[in-house]
Chain A
Amino acid sequence: MSMQKQLRRSVVIAKKDVWIYYSKGPVIVFGLLFPLFLLLAFTIGRNVTIDELFPGLMGMAVFFTSTAVGPAILPWEARSRTLERLVCLPVAVWAILFGDVLASFAFGLAISIVPLIVSVAMGVEVEHLLVLGVGMVLAAFCFASLSILLSAYPPTDVPATVMMLSSMVRFPLVFISGIFVPVEGLPDWARAVSSISPLTYFTDLARYSTTGESFYSIHIDLVVLALYAALFLLVSVRLHERYLPERLS
């Protein structure tokens, strides 16, 4: 069956995910408020301007919204037996996963536009809107792929287990990705650690979009995000295919 047909089915899977998982009031409110609250928790009492907050706010908005629901989808579907239904249909496992990624990507991107608009309304000047836009698209796709990878192992059908494990990955990433302190302000060892996180590269792009300055070249930021997206997607497809029988048993 052609790749085109499978991609069309991925879009159907994404549509299903939006109906069932993303178009719920609490999920949308969580997506809007959680990054803001987390940022406020770490900045209140510090003398920082909205311009300085902007890269961190955008980083957390794109990161948390794109990874908010994705890790729970497959365990949830395994538990409700709907995953078995999908696997019996003429849809490849990679197409199911790609559909889940597309839904996380669309949710992450759509919700992240809200803090962008609010920030601009509050006086943040985005000088390089195109760079920020391309960065948001790449970052949302990269983090959406990461969200599917987070549910690959262990092949459980308990969403809470996956969400707990994914939090153990997601929160440390926020602290090492130049959200609260720009990369250039970090000691050498912390810079080395932050270079592992894909979020670092998006935060760097967001900083460039307002100040015109970035720690890495913007080309490096964009390429690294794209490479991470491809890597997360490939590894998650491999792992999910391998552990699918265990998840369904």
Chain B
Amino acid sequence: MTAVDGISFEVDEGEIFGFLGPNGSGKSTTVRMLTGTLKPDGGTALIMGHDIGSETMKAKEMIGVVPEVSNAYIEISAKKNLMLVGELYGLPRKERVARAENLLKDFGLWDRRDGLVRGFSKGMKQRLILCMALINDPPLLFLDEPSSGLDVESKRLIEGVIREKSEGGTTVFLTTHDIEEANQLCDRVAIINRGSMAAIDRPEALKRKTSGLNYLDVSFDGATDPRALAKFCDAKEAMKMGDKIRLWADDVDEAIYCISAFASSEGLKIVSLNTLSPSLEEIFVELTKRRE
């Protein structure tokens, strides 16, 4: 079975790159190939200029990985986990002690540094995992669902760190199901579906590019049948949304003229009219639906 087939993309240095896709689309397989966990049957991937296939160790020295499921050693303390990972990155003792201390303080774990990870909450474990990924100050950070299921405080802390790291020049490769999170954080997003790349662009550019998803919310001063409006304007769909009607249109400009004509013909007055572009979530649903 082919999990990922012929995908190709580049991520710029310092960019926050969102990698989206439904379950089973090939996201995790792609990330595993990029982090050297899985060997692809063919193709190459360069991590900060190092081929993950032939210069695996050099490429791995450039990355920090935050997996979806916490994978710290729960039988040892937070500090020991950090020291262990630092030592496996080959950091000198003084450097890893200093970095571990700073990270534990920055992520609010200093008071629990000697406590076994077994007793940590999900948020604390996730913060520790992020510390472990940052111990070598990597130029490239892979984050897989970093704030999934976390409390607001931990989520904000992690989002803040992502922004801060990006501003400092770190490249962030963010895999997430939270489309709004991707919309808020990412410079560019890629949408993968069934092992192939469905789209890759800046979120706003994707919204503009995707036709048929623009809609208008219109409110009249009298009761109106949405189906009549849809038929009049030859729109593909109209739906009642409270006291408004939502009308989906390929051409927003034409739709505005049409709504105005409909109001005149029905003797109605337009109370409000808003044009709305689709959310990234709608783009995602549309793109992944198209390929099914």
Which residues does A use to contact B, with CB under 8 Å?
Answer: 1, 5, 8-9, 12-13, 16, 19-20, 80-82, 84-92, 245, 248
Contact = CB atoms under 8 A, between A and B. Distances in A.
A248 B37 contact: yes
Given A88-B60, A90-B58, A90-B61, 19 more contacts: A1-B57, A9-B90, A12-B88, A16-B84, A19-B76, A19-B80, A80-B74, A82-B71, A85-B65, A86-B88, A88-B36, A88-B37, A88-B63, A88-B65, A89-B88, A90-B60, A90-B90, A91-B88, A92-B57
Contacts of B56: 92
Contact of A1 (B38, B58, B73): B58
Contacts of A80: 71, 73-74
Nearest to A99: B88
A182 B88 CA distance: 46
Interface string B64-81: 010101111111100010
A85 B87 contact: no
A86 B81 CA distance: 12
B156 to A, nearest CB: 25
B80 A90 contact: no
Contacts, number: 67
Interface residues of B, number: 30
A65 B59 CA distance: 38
Contacts of A84: 37, 67, 71
A9 B91 CA distance: 11
B258 to A, nearest CB: 53
Nearest to A88: B65
A91 B136 CA distance: 14
B269 interface: no
18 contacts: A8-B90, A9-B90, A13-B88, A19-B80, A20-B76, A80-B73, A81-B67, A81-B69, A82-B71, A84-B67, A85-B85, A87-B36, A88-B35, A88-B36, A88-B60, A90-B58, A90-B90, A245-B37
Contacts of B60: 88-90
Contact of A82 (B37, B38, B73, B89): B73
A245 B84 contact: no
A85 B89 contact: no
B58 A16 contact: no
Across the A-B interface, the 7 shortest Cβ-Cβ residue pairs? A81-B71, A1-B57, A90-B60, A88-B65, A85-B71, A90-B57, A12-B87
Contacts of B73: 16, 20, 80, 82
B39 interface: yes
Contacts of B35: 88
Contact of B90 (A5, A81, A92): A5
Interface in B1-43: 32, 35-39
B89 A90 contact: yes
A245 B71 contact: no
Nearest to B39: A245
